[in-house]
Structure 1
Amino acid sequence: RAFEFGPRACIGQTLAMTELKAALVMTVRAFEIRSAYEEWDALVPGREGEARMVNGIRAYQAEKGGGGAHPADVFPRRIVVGGHEVAKVE
């Protein structure tokens, strides 16, 4: 248990959480995440022109069991750090 509640509560919890959030922001801002749906559609056979559309806009989310929305099919993306591509996730 990272932080207790009640009389034994950690007095540094607020500071620790603020520091963690700041560190996360400083790390994540170095990354650029780009969607790669066009590449994904070209790679998956039989999917040409089959993109799910709602009111003329591509639908990216789907909801089904498990609670909460998630990307329809997958979320293809390219991750770039400092102008250099580090990951292509399909």
Structure 2
Amino acid sequence: MQQTGRHLEQQVAQLEAALLARVEAHDARKLPLLCSIPGIGRKTAAQLLSFTDGFTQVQSYRQLIAKAGLCPRQYQSGTSVRGQTRITKRSGARIRGNL
């Protein structure tokens, strides 16, 4: 079990390194800009660039928020409003977890 766990951790590390290398090769200008945002490191920046295909799939911050599943949604039926407003969580679970 421990060997399998170590092997999986090594594979994850290799995949993360490959993702970062690919992003650095294709989005060399965007990576440092994203890393300049407080709280965004190289790993999160690389995942953001990969998730949005270098920000070609989103044209505004609203689209990025919706794509990541971070937009608030109010649950209502007719005139009643049930509970608090929560995020939708419909997509982008991995990117949401890193943000």
Query: Taking structure 2 as the reference length, what is the TM-score of the superposition?
Result: 0.29
Say which structure is richer in helix.
2
Q: Which has the larger radius of gyration?
A: 1
Using CA pairs below 8 Å that are at least 6 residues apart, which structure has the higher relative contact order? 1
Structure with bigger strand share is 1
TM-score (norm 1): 0.31
